[in-house]
């Protein structure tokens, strides 16, 4: 422990050198900027910045690239909350409550809880990384296909909390998402499915495209069709920029729970950043003392529904550094490119990294603490400015949202086909909105469907067709038992006359 402490202090000595502080700052600013812009994710940005490794020393460059990686996780929430345009799959859950809050004049608190939650989760995440990285890495390796599949079953069941007022229509949305998720190349056998011989469909439909189509385009079209033009709406009435005492009280536990969910899932090798945000949202939805505030209940937006998923997202980003640094295993596209950056310096992340390049790694870890603080300082003053954006008159506001949505969708792979597809999905979004089909389950189905199919088939291949594998392995079995509890405990309680708050 003392040894770790000394090494970390050494790391801080590296990180607070003025040049390195500057690199961290540049990385944070750039990361926040690209997080705000939909369509260019951190993976692309880090890839484009890779050539810098030819000119800058390793500490500086890696500190900057990690700043981009972290900053993007911060900035992703901004467009979700303000424009209902999630730029990354991991900020989709944030859009649900965050945008509802913004529409009721509470963009400020939503942005603030996202920024502070990100800071707290990021810092705790880095702390856990500092102290327990090797232990966490060993645990993460226990996750194979069977464990992942069981985890996804749990995610599927808890997702019922985003299904909205009508169970049938919620499930209808989920089934639509599963159907869209099937389009494209089957990840196991490599056979194209439901592509209709359209080459653009072979890789499947990007979920950011569907999210932007359903959320932003669908809402703009719905708004122009059915909402009065003159009504300024509650959007313009900024009731408060800052979080109230009640907001703090409701955010705290959500931040901590989000962190607890996000960090471990970041460290498992095939997690993806979305699942912890789903689980965190469901948890907050189930535990909240204010279920009526949630957008699925027609409420004004629940702050814990922003605080939890955002914390989970950032803790997840810290967790993903565990297998990256200790095993050299990337758990996301961005992490894979970061490994490329290390390799450009002939440094191989992995089991030998701490021995071969100790000072560098500790400098990097120390810079993560500093970067987190920088991001908070950078983002909090922006909250007011961002929130004021919503006072723009409606025509220009929605036109701007549409421009941003199109830029994001087009920027992903420079295909105008995607823009047409975005429009079609937007029209479907209008119909869904008109008949009160919730849109979030579509995205959830799209993401979970293909992932769980892949893990199911790999797990069964490993067990040679034995379905009981999901109960024979301890971690998988734990998730399955948890799933059964989540499904049946409320039912039994209800039968016994115990009423849960959400059924009131």
Partner 1 sequence: MKIRFSVALRHAAVAVASVALASQGFALDNVKFMIGANPGGGFDQTGRNLGKAMVEAGVAKSVQYENKGGAGGTIGLAQFANASKGDPNAMIVTGAVMVGAIVQNKPPVTLANATPVARLFYEYNVFVVPANSPLKSMKDVLEMLKKDPGSVKWGGGSRGSVDHISVAMIAKDAGVDPSKINYVPFQGGGEASAAILGGHVTVGTSGYSEMQQFIKSGKMRALAVTSGSKLPGEPVPTLKEQGVNVEIGNWRGVYGAPGITEAQRKALADAVVAASKQKSWTDALASNDWFPAVLTGEEFAKFVDGEHKRIEESMKAVGMVK
Partner 2 sequence: MLKHPVQLAIAIAFLALAAVFAIGASQLPSDGGYAGVGSSFVPWVVSAFLAIIGLLLAYQAVTTGFRSLDAGDAIGSADRRGALWVSAGILLMAALITRIGFVPGATILFVCAARGFGSVRPLRDIVIGAFISFPVFWLFTLVLDVNLPRLINDWL
**C-beta of residue 218 within 8 angstroms of C-beta of residue 439:** yes
Alpha-carbon distance of 291 to 299, in angstroms, equals 8
Residue 228 is a binding residue for partner 1 (CB under 8 A): no
Residue 2 is a binding residue for partner 2 (CB under 8 A): no
Nearer to partner 1, 34 or 401 (CB): 34
Residue 464 is a binding residue for partner 1 (CB under 8 A): yes
Judged by CB under 8 A, the stretch of 48-56, 173-181, 218-226, 383-391 that binds partner 1 is: 48-56
Sequence length of the chain is 504
**C-beta of residue 316 within 8 angstroms of C-beta of residue 72:** no
234 binds, among partner 2, partner 1, none (CB under 5 to 8 A by kind): none
Q: Which of residues 138-167 bind partner 1 (CB under 8 A)?
A: 140-145
Site for partner 2 (CB under 8 A): which residue of 226, 242, 471, 488? 226
Nearer to partner 1, 57 or 200 (CB): 200
Q: Which of residues 168-187 bind partner 2 (CB under 8 A)?
A: 168-169, 171-172, 175-176, 178-179, 182, 186
Phi, psi of 184 (to 5 degrees): 120, -170
Site for partner 2 (CB under 8 A): which residue of 10, 134, 411, 490? 411
Alpha-carbon distance of 368 to 6, in angstroms, equals 17
220 binds, among partner 1, partner 2, none (CB under 5 to 8 A by kind): partner 2
413 binds, among partner 2, partner 1, none (CB under 5 to 8 A by kind): partner 1
- Number of residues counted as binding partner 2 (CB under 8 A): 65
Site string for partner 1, 52-71 (x = CB under 8 A): --------------------
Burial class of 141 by CB neighbour count within 10 A (0 to 12, 13 to 18, 19+)? middle
Alpha-carbon distance of 44 to 336, in angstroms, equals 11
Residue reference for tokens 């989970």: 312
Residue 482 is a binding residue for partner 2 (CB under 8 A): no
331 binds, among partner 2, partner 1, none (CB under 5 to 8 A by kind): partner 1
Alpha-carbon distance of 358 to 7, in angstroms, equals 8
Nearer to partner 2, 141 or 187 (CB): 187
Q: Of 154, 158, 149, 147, which is closest to residue 483 (Cα–Cα)?
A: 154
DSSP codes, 269-295: TT--SHHHHHHHHHHHHHH-S-GGGSG
Site for partner 2 (CB under 8 A): which residue of 193, 249, 292, 499? 193
Element (H, E) at 193: strand 192-193
Element (H, E) at 185: strand 184-185
Alpha-carbon distance of 272 to 47, in angstroms, equals 19
Judged by CB under 8 A, the stretch of 301-309, 314-322, 341-349, 414-422 that binds partner 2 is: 414-422
Least spacing, CB of residue 47 vs partner 1, in Å:
3
Least spacing, CB of residue 47 vs partner 2, in Å:
9
Alpha-carbon distance of 77 to 91, in angstroms, equals 6
Nearer to partner 1, 43 or 81 (CB): 43
Site for partner 2 (CB under 8 A): which residue of 26, 37, 136, 324? 37
Q: What's the token pair of residue 389?
A: 């954006």
List Cβ<8 Å contacts ≥24 apart for 159-162: 159/278, 159/282, 159/441, 159/444, 159/448, 160/282, 161/281, 161/282, 161/285, 161/286, 161/296, 162/96, 162/278, 162/281, 162/282, 162/285, 162/296, 162/438, 162/440, 162/441, 162/444
Q: Which positions lie near partner 1, rule CB under 8 A?
A: 43-44, 47-48, 50-51, 140-145, 185, 187-190, 192, 199-200, 202-203, 269-270, 323, 327-331, 333, 335-337, 340, 343-344, 346, 348, 350-352, 413-414, 454, 458, 461-462, 464
Binding site for partner 2 (CB under 8 A): 33, 37, 40, 44-45, 48, 165-166, 168-169, 171-172, 175-176, 178-179, 182, 186, 188-189, 191, 193-194, 217, 220-221, 223-226, 229, 393-396, 398-400, 402-404, 406-407, 410-411, 414, 416, 419-420, 422-423, 426, 431, 434-436, 449, 453, 456-458, 460-461, 464-465
């Amino acid at each position: 422990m003392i040894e770790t402490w000394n090494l970390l202090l050494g790391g801080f000595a590296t990180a607070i050198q003025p040049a390195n502080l500057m690199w961290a700052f540049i990385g944070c600013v750039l990361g926040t900027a690209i997080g705000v812009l939909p369509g260019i994710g951190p993976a692309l940005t880090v890839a484009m910045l890779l050539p810098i490794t030819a000119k800058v020393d390793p500490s500086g460059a890696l500190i900057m690239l990690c700043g981009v990686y972290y900053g993007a996780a911060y900035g992703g929430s901004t467009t979700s909350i303000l424009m209902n345009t999630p730029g990354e799959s991991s900020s989709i859950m944030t859009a649900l409550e965050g945008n509802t809050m913004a529409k009721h004049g509470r963009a400020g608190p939503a942005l603030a809880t996202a920024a502070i939650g990100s800071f707290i989760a990021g810092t705790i995440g880095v702390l856990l990384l500092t102290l327990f990285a090797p232990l966490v890495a060993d645990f993460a390796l226990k996750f194979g296909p069977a464990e992942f599949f069981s985890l996804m079953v749990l995610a599927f069941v808890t997702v019922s909390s985003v299904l909205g007022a009508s169970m049938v229509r919620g499930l209808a949305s989920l089934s639509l998402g599963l159907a869209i998720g099937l389009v494209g190349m089957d990840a196991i056998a490599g056979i194209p499915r439901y592509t209709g011989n359209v080459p653009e469909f072979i890789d499947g439909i990007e979920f950011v495209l569907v999210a932007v189509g359903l959320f932003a385009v669908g809402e703009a079209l719905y708004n122009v069709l059915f909402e009065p033009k003159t009504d300024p709406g509650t959007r313009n009435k900024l009731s408060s920029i800052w979080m109230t005492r009640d907001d703090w009280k409701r955010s705290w536990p959500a931040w901590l729970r989000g962190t607890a969910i996000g960090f471990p899932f970041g460290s498992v090798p095939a997690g993806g950043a979305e699942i912890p945000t789903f689980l965190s949202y469901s948890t907050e939805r189930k535990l909240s003392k204010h279920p009526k505030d949630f957008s699925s209940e027609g409420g004004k937006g629940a702050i814990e529904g922003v605080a939890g998923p955002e914390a989970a997202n950032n803790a997840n980003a810290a967790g993903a550094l565990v297998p990256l640094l200790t095993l050299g295993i990337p758990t996301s596209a961005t992490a894979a490119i970061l490994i490329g950056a290390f390799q450009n310096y002939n440094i191989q992340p992995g089991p030998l990294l701490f021995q071969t390049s100790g000072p560098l790694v500790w400098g990097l870890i120390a810079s993560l603490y500093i970067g987190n603080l920088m991001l908070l300082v950078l983002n909090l003053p922006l909250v007011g400015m961002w929130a004021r954006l919503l006072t723009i008159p409606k025509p220009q506001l929605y036109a701007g949202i549409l421009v941003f949505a199109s830029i994001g969708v087009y920027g992903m792979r420079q295909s105008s086909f995607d823009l047409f597809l975005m429009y079609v999905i937007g029209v479907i979004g209008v119909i869904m909105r008109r008949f009160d089909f919730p849109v979030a389950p579509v995205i959830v189905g799209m993401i979970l469907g293909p992932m769980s199919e892949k893990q199911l088939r790999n797990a069964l291949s490993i067990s040679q067709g034995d379905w009981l594998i999901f109960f024979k392995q301890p971690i998988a079995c734990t998730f399955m038992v948890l799933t059964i509890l989540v499904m049946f405990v409320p039912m039994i309680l209800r039968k016994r006359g115990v009423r849960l708050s959400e059924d009131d």
